[in-house]
Each structure stands twice: as structure tokens, then as C-alpha cells.
Structure 1
Amino acid sequence: MRAAFSVIDTDAGRIRVVDSASPGPVVVFVPDGPNVVEHYQALIHRLSPSCRVVCFDMPGFGFSLPHASYAHSLDQGAKLVLSVLDHLKIRKATLAFSCANGFYALRTARIAPDRVSGLVLSQTPSLQAMHAWTDRVVPKPLRVPVLGQWLGWLFRERAASSWYRIALPATTDASPFRDVARQALRCGACFSLAGVVQGLVKASDAGLKGVQTPCTVIWGAQDRSHRHTNPQSLLDIVPHAELVQFDDCGHFPDLEKSERFIRILMEKVSRYG
């Protein structure tokens, strides 16, 4: 079964979506840039016999072009997720988001708990821990409005290549990730790291507290960009969350160790209903 691509017009921008449209519970993925929807094709194919799989790039990433008014805030991101669900006539779904996108998933579950069956988050710490990560890893010029966006676009290919080198284990061949991202960027894809960093800089964990939705956090221990990040920090916000660590994995557990990830995801989906 080959999932079909479409474009959805939303208040946040034109969102590029792939939908398997297969029967079963709904699982929604959002790639963590510079990954794009194309990185998820194999995973979508494997999951489609068991569930309906939706995958889309957030505004400012991949080929989802944001409106000028989209500032990557928690509420804007959550409203965008709900807009996609509404457009696809999805009443309820499990959100399988990663890294900073996990904050949008958590905010969605906070403001619309009846729309989210469960959360399966990869490499998402607390916002406080993510701010500390930003201070360590993201160059200061990218945190400056306008300048950051200009530099991010100018050096997008170099930034993507550098990111894969530190996000993946030292023993992992980054070329399969890098080549797909490079092709997308050369065809006009976005990688708005500056936008997300600037959009979340004033956000706090207070906006995420109170989530009651079942939550599982999968953490790749070999992610060198997060070597100083405490994976348990999210439990300060979502104390009922279950933490699962992949000791042989980097920043992308869903793509690096897909079979293991799928087993956990489907067990959670069956439990969440």
C-alpha cells in the first residue's frame, strides 16, 4: 500500500501531508528536521497494514511553507496539529513526535485531550532542559530574529550535514539520512531551526503541565548532541510518562531502530485504544 501525498491549506501555512488512509487506529508522525516526510516512507509502509499512518512536515520544515504570521509558538503548533486532524476527519490519534515537536504534541494533548489517544515521544526532554540544550548546541546568531533565519537558509545544507554527524552514533553511517535531506533541501525544502529556537525561547514547562494523556518517551542514549541532557527531565512535567531507553541509538529512534520502535508503538496504540 502506497500512501498518497496532499497539501492542506491552514492558518499556519501550506502543509504537505502523506496519509496511508488504511483502516485501524491513527498514528501521526512529524519528522524532526532536517528529516522530511521522505525519511518516513519505509516506516509508513511497515505500519500501514496495522493502522492509518499520517505524516506531515511542520510549517517551516520540508515542503510545508509557513505563513509570515507563524512564529513556531506552542499554541500555534498545537492548533496546526488540530487543523490537520480536522482536515483529514480524524477524531482521535496517537501522536508520535520527536525532539522539539514533542512540545507541540504535549500542548495539543493539554488543550484538546479528547483528540489525542496517546503520546509516543522520541528525544523530548523538558522545555527547561531543551533551553539548556539550545545554549550548548545552537550557535548564538541563529537565535537572533531575521539574522538567524537568513543564516539558516544560507547554510542549510552545511547545518544539516553537521547535525547528522553529532545526532547519530559515531559508528552509524549518516549518508542515508544526509542524502535524503540534501536532495530535499536542493529542491527547495525548508529547515527552520532558527524559527523553532526563537519561537520556543519564551515558552515554559508551565504550558505543558497537566497533561493526563498516556505518554511514552523513547530516548536514544548515543545521541551526542544530548549527551548532557537528562532524559528523565520530562517526568518533571509529565510524571506518569514511561521512559524507554535505546542504548544503541542516536537522535532518531523511530528511524534508526524501526523494528524495535514499531513493537513499542503498536503495543502502546493497542493499549491506548
Structure 2
Amino acid sequence: MLATLIDTFPSGLNAKRKIKALQQRLPGDYHTVELDTCYIRYRMAGSGKHTLVLATDPPISLECYDELIGILAKDYRVIVFELPGFGYSLPKIGFDFRFDNTIEILIQLLKHWNCGPYVLSFPCAAAYFSIALAERFPQWVSHLALIQAPNWQQEQLWKHRLDPKSILNTPIMGQVFLKLGKRKVARQWVEYASNTPPFTQHSQALIDKQLHHGGCYCLASAMQKSLTPESPALSGFTQPAIMVYGQQDSSHKKTDFETIRDYNPSIETCAIDKAGHFPELETPQLFKNYLDKLIYASN
């Protein structure tokens, strides 16, 4: 509890004031909704038959999605949101980052938008939230387009490769470490994981601006409380699904992405050779091609 307070207490104290100021200077397709234990910032565009919901991959911010939204909004209603505790999705004081608590927040969010059933496209560690939503609330989820996601055990190995000394995974130490150096950590992570220099440079500037102006990067709390060694109950789902991944992701060189089929043997894995950790943003048209195939083939 004390460790997560390091993340939630400062932002929670002035969250309402910060959100109000933010809304006054953002374009019209940016929105913020207040939920029980946090605020969620999102963008909405397009008016297609299918509603596609993308979660940002921290520290990537909503501002990094202009090109992808422009491509997708021609055929889909597109919603992109920042996960609680990241960017300007500010946690309230005492927000608990546990997996099931985040699921409760996400189902509140889907009900708030009220335009399901949804095509959920969540990346990396957030992909397991979408799997759980598909299992527990099938009426709200029509398809899954997972990104950069193996099974839970492979994700644990990935986590420990990135943090071999368990700095981020140690309560209090991890939170303090990121408080002191979140802008540097974010910049280095994008540099390491992306394989597309123009995207890397463009997104680094946008992320650094957000973090400099009070954006959250509660990575330590999320890793400690949500991405735990013990897997949540993920028994499997039946909706049509793909998993898109970039083959040039330096952080996932040893990951077996085929293990994602543990949750649904019918998942089609779609490798993008030139992309790194952010294939939907590094190669947006290829990502849309795979998404179109998923939606139209299943219909």
C-alpha cells in the first residue's frame, strides 16, 4: 500500500484541477472520464460499423496515435485510451493496480462508451486485460487483435530480462527510482524497443513533453501489483482473434509468441518483419490490413 501511495498520492491530490486545465487546451477528439478510482483520458474518431478500442503501450501517449487513427477512422469507430496510472489517466489516492481491480475499471469504461460489442486491441502486458474481458464479459467483446503478447509465463521471463536486478519489482525502491528518472527511462525504452527511427524520435518528444507536464508513468506499481508471477484466471476465450507482433523488438528476442495460443488455439499470429515493439504505430497500414482480415473473415 505504501509503495503505490508514492505513485497515487501526488497525482491524486490535484487530479481534478489538472484534468480541468488539460481539457481546456486539448483538441475536440480528446476526452476524460472520471471513474470510481481514477480518471481515464481517451481519443475517439470515426463512425464505422465496428468499434475498435486500443490501449496505449506505456510510456506511449495518446498524441502518438495521429497517423494510426487517421488510417483506421476511415472504416472504424476508433477509441484509444491511456491505462490508469499512465499518461493523463490519473489515479486517485489509494488506487490499487491489482489485475482484477483494473478489469473493474475497464468494464466501467466500456459501459460508459456504450458502443459495443468492441474489438479490443491491447498491447503487451495489457493484452491480458483484454483476454480477461473477453472471457468474463463476452457480450461486450466481439474480437481480439492482441499486440506483442505471448502467454503469461513468457511475459514473466520478458519482465525479468528487462529488470534483472528487480529494481522496478521491489516495492518503494521501484516507485522512487521512476519518480527520479521517469523521463530518462521512457526515452531509453522507446529507443531500445522500437525499430523505426522516425517513429522513435517523434514519439520520444511527445512522451517527454507529457511527463514533463505531470503525466504519470506508474510502471513499478503496475509491474508489482498487476504483472505478478501468479497468473490471473485466464481459462480461454472463443472470440475470433489475431496477435500481431514486430519481429525486430530487441526486448522480445527470446520470446515465444506462439504460446499466446494457450488462451485460444485458433489465434492467428501475424509477424511484421520490420516492426519493433510497437507494430501498430511503426507500421500502421500493415496493422490495419491484418485487422481488416480478422473482422471481414470472421463476418
TM-score, normalization by structure 1: 0.93
Asked if structure 1 preserves the Cα contact closer than 8 Å seen for 2:272 and 2:279, the reply is yes
Structure 2 counterpart of 1:268, which letter?
L
Shift in Å at residue 160 of structure 1?
0.8
Which range moved further: 30-39 or 172-181?
A: 172-181
Distance 1:201 1:24 in 2: 34
- The correspondence for 1:145, drawn from 171, 177, 196, is 171
Structure 1: segments with no counterpart, 5+ residues: none
State the match for 1:100 in structure 2. 125
Distance 1:41 1:239 in 2: 34
Which range moved further: 144-153 or 116-125?
A: 144-153
Shift in Å at residue 270 of structure 1?
2.9
Q: Does 1:179 align with 2:205?
A: yes
1:242-257 equivalences in 2 (<5 Å): 242-257=268-283
Distance 2:227 2:44 in 1: 32
- The correspondence for 2:55, drawn from 22, 25, 30, is 30
Distance 1:104 1:210 in 2: 12
TM-score, normalization by structure 2: 0.85
Structure 2: segments with no counterpart, 5+ residues: 1-26
Structure 1 counterpart of 2:235, which letter?
K
Which range moved further: 50-59 or 66-75?
A: 66-75
Aligned length: 271
Structure 2 counterpart of 1:178, which letter?
Q
Distance 1:258 1:3 in 2: 23
1:189-237 C-alpha deviation (Å, 9 max, x unpaired): 1112112211234364461222112221011110001111111121223
Provide the secondary structure at the position in 1 that maps to 2:186. helix
Cα-Cα RMSD: 1.8
1:61-85 C-alpha deviation (Å, 9 max, x unpaired): 1100113443333222222222111
1:2-28 C-alpha deviation (Å, 9 max, x unpaired): 862111111230111111152421000
Larger gyration radius, structure 1 or structure 2: 2
Distance 1:12 1:243 in 2: 35
State the match for 1:41 in structure 2. 66
Asked if structure 2 preserves the Cα contact closer than 8 Å seen for 1:74 and 1:103, the reply is no
Change (3 A) 1:198 1:72: same
Asked if structure 1 preserves the Cα contact closer than 8 Å seen for 2:52 and 2:77, the reply is yes
Structure 2 counterpart of 1:199, which letter?
K
Provide the secondary structure at the position in 1 that maps to 2:42. strand
Asked if structure 2 preserves the Cα contact closer than 8 Å seen for 1:128 and 1:204, the reply is no
Q: Does 1:157 align with 2:183?
A: yes
Distance 2:240 2:28 in 1: 28
Provide the secondary structure at the position in 2 that maps to 1:216. strand
